[in-house]
Amino acid sequence: MRIQKWRILSLLPATVFLLTMTACTTKLTPNPTDTTSSTTPGAFFTQDGLLKDDQKVNAFVAFNFENLKDEMARGHGEYLASLGSLLGVPNNRQTEFLSWARGKYPVLVPSEQTTPDQLVIALAQELSANPSLTR
């Protein structure tokens, strides 16, 4: 049985596509041993798989960084209020925290290159100088 050239050629684009997708997926999907060997699995999560309390602020800031920067600059917003709660700001001091964050914005986010980690560090430093805001 002889296979016609046009049938082989018609399968070529699909084959190239599948090979390309396989190569891309392999490069984009990290090796599980690379991830677990480079970090301590228990550092961030409880035995139940929940995020540890001391990591909640880090995760929240990382996932909501752009929204937080915008709301800090304005001095109000749901993300900023949620951050205040995670930081231990009592409900009756939330308004003060929002105003405080707006006033501290140039210190908390000094440049466009500020990272989420740098923001968390700056928040900790500035809040330690103003312990009346947290519990």
Average pLDDT, the chain: 80
CA distances from 135 to 59, 83, 94 (A): 21, 14, 12
For range 5-19, the mean pLDDT: 56
3-class secondary structure, 45:
strand
Residue 58 tokens read as 């880090």
- Please give the Cα distance from 10 to 85 (Å, whole number): 60
Q: What is the pLDDT of residues 68-121, one digit of tens each?
A: 999 999 999 999 999 999 999 999 999 999 999 999 999 999 999 999 999 999
Which of 77 and 14 is assigned the larger pLDDT?
Answer: 77
Structure pTM? 0.66
Residue extents of the structural domains in the chain: 5-38, 42-133
